[in-house]
């Protein structure tokens, strides 16, 4: 794929989408199994290429959160193959009847799921996304065009090559998986302006990348968003739940969008919970940016400033604030949330139901870690991204979110009067 132009790649993906749409469910399973086997077989080659990306990233001074997202080792390559197989095992959404009825004149109508055609993805420093989105696109009958960014250039080149060879060996044209990475920004621009060739475009990455794609695209975009994620500890929050959930949500993988960034604590529970939770966080190396009351209860607290409440740290940093009530917690979340995920820790059923009803985010939780907002955890095998918009798809996006619908009408000679 060293010749051509971005436009030619898009055209070939569009042509290939006819072949992907015609695949049976068994065909798709066979293609995905070929990809999984090929990834495992090419693991040394993939890891070697990834090592070059990481070395270049460190030389360029990219942050540790991006290095973590970028890294592929034997375990992570195995996880990629496992995710492909999990996608293959999911029910095929294509052809699923989602509605229908018989018109008074006898014409029967069915609304069925169909592939979009060509799915585009623009992302950065996430080689796992290269595989996840390709697998989801193929399982839902779509071709795919990928733009993975310069940070993962070596990794993505190998991953795309491995997958293209695998699907061709399984009887599907290699043109069903395209990349425009080698064209740099011109490739991304071609995708954003690829009306008639790209049917839906999904950006994943920094707020700046997402904003650029949303504002510059002439093709439909499913917006994924940054994760300024909140956990509210209300006055009835049990000690162990508060401590364990907050630590898990921050520490288990701090560089991802579902990691908690702000903890709000009810004033009545503050003397009990803040020392407990803060101590557990600090023992894991977390830096706490706290308000005056937090600083009065815990040592080594960084004084919080206004910017802390709106920051997606993606690191071992967390903001902590005391609030007077559930109402104040809800107000704070409305003001600063990016609409990704919020959780309340409580033993009060009324508070939990209010929180579920009044928080307007893609995922709202009670007594659970925000780290569960994930396509695999939700049973989707993998995810295209976490949609924070309100049209078509919201929350973790799986197979169904990569389909549209069409109406099938069956008549017996009816005409309209």
Q: What sign has the CA pseudo-torsion 245, 251, 255, 261?
A: positive
- Distance, CA of 270 to CA of 293 (rounded, Å): 8
Question: pLDDT tens digits, residue range 212-237?
Answer: 999 999 999 988 877 899 999 999 99
Give tens-digit pLDDT for 73-116: 999 999 999 999 999 999 999 999 999 999 999 999 999 999 99
- Looking at 177-286, which runs of residues are DSSP E strands? 177-179, 200-204, 229-233, 260-266
Host H or E run for residue 323: strand 317-323
3-class SS at 46?
A: helix
Give the pLDDT score at 124. 87
Q: Is the dihedral of CA 296, 301, 305, 311 positive or negative?
A: negative
pLDDT of 380? 81
Q: At the fourth CATH level, which superfamily is domain 229-372? A: Aldehyde Dehydrogenase; Chain A, domain 2 (3.40.309.10)
| Predicted pLDDT of residue 69 | 83
The dihedral formed by the CA atoms of 229, 219, 145 and 88, expressed in degrees to the nearest 10: 60
Of the pLDDT bands very low, low, confident and very high (cuts 50, 70, 90), residue 1 is: low
* CA separation for the pair 133, 384 (Å, rounded): 6
pLDDT digits (tens, 9 = 90+) for 231-276: 999 999 999 999 999 999 999 999 889 999 999 999 999 999 999 9
Residues 35-58: tens digit of each pLDDT: 999 999 999 999 999 999 999 999
pLDDT: which is higher, 358 or 400: 358
Instruction: Give the pLDDT score at 62.
Output: 86
CATH of 6-222+397-410 among 3.40.50.80, 3.40.640.10, 3.40.800.10, 3.40.605.10: 3.40.605.10
Mean of all residue pLDDT scores within the chain: 95
The three-state secondary structure class of 190 is helix
Q: Tell which wins on pLDDT, 147 or 69.
A: 147
Higher pLDDT, 210 or 156: 156
Domain limits, the chain: 6-222+397-410, 229-372
CA 203 – CA 384 distance, rounded (Å): 9
Model pTM?
Answer: 0.85
Q: Are 331 and 312 in contact (CB under 8 A)?
A: no
Residue owning tokens 């071992």: 316
Predicted confidence at residue 174, as pLDDT, reads: 98
Distances (CA, A) of 33 to 27, 30, 38, 247, 341: 10, 5, 8, 37, 33
Unique residue bearing structure tokens 């294509």 = 94
Listed range (124-138, 201-215, 259-273, 332-346) with the worst mean pLDDT: 201-215
Instruction: State the pLDDT at residue 88.
Output: 96
Q: What is residue 389's predicted lDDT score, i.e. its pLDDT?
A: 84
Q: Considering just the CA atoms, what is the radius of gyration of the chain in Å?
A: 23
pLDDT of residue 3: 62
pLDDT at 64: 80
Q: Are strands 317-323 and 260-266 parallel, antiparallel or unpaired?
A: parallel
| pLDDT reading at 288 higher than 90 | yes
């Amino acid at each position: 794929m060293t010749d051509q132009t971005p436009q030619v790649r898009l055209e070939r993906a569009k042509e290939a989408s006819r072949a992907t749409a015609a695949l049976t469910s068994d065909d798709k399973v066979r293609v995905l199994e070929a990809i999984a086997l090929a990834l495992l077989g090419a693991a040394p080659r993939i890891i070697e290429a990834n090592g070059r990306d990481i070395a270049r990233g460190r030389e360029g001074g990219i942050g540790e959160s991006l290095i973590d997202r970028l890294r592929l080792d034997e375990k992570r390559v195995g996880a990629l193959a496992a995710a492909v197989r999990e996608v293959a095992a999911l029910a095929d959404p294509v052809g699923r009847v989602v509605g229908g009825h018989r018109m008074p004149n006898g014409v029967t109508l069915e609304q069925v799921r169909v592939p979009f055609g060509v799915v585009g993805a623009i992302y950065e420093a996430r080689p796992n996304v290269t595989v996840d989105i390709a697998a989801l696109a193929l399982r839902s009958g779509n071709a795919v065009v990928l733009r993975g960014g310069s940070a993962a250039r070596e990794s993505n080149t190998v991953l795309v090559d491995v997958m293209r060879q695998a699907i061709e060996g399984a009887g599907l044209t290699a043109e069903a998986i395209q990349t425009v990475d080698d064209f740099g920004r011109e490739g991304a621009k071609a995708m954003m302006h690829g009306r008639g060739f790209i049917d839906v475009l999904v950006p994943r990455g920094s707020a700046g990348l997402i904003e650029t794609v949303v504002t510059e695209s002439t093709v439909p975009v499913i917006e994924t968003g940054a994760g300024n994620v909140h956990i509210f500890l209300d006055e009835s929050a049990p000690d162990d739940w508060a401590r364990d959930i907050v630590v898990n949500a921050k520490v288990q993988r701090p560089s991802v969008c579902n990691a908690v960034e702000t903890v709000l604590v009810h004033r009545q529970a503050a003397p009990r919970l803040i020392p407990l939770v803060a101590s557990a966080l600090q023992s894991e190396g977390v830096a706490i940016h706290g308000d005056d009351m937090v600083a009065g209860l815990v040592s080594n607290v960084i004084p919080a400033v206004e910017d802390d409440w709106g920051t997606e740290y993606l690191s071992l940093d967390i903001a902590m604030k005391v609030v007077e009530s559930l109402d104040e917690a809800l107000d704070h979340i409305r003001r600063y949330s990016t609409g990704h995920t919020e959780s309340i820790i409580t033993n009060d059923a009324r508070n939990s139901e209010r929180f579920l009803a009044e928080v307007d985010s893609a995922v709202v939780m009670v007594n659970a870690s925000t780290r569960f907002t994930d396509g695999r955890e939700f049973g989707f095998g993998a995810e295209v991204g976490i949609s924070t918009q309100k049209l078509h798809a919201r929350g973790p996006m799986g197979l169904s979110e990569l389909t549209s619908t069409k109406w099938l009408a069956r008549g017996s000679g009816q005409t309209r009067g």
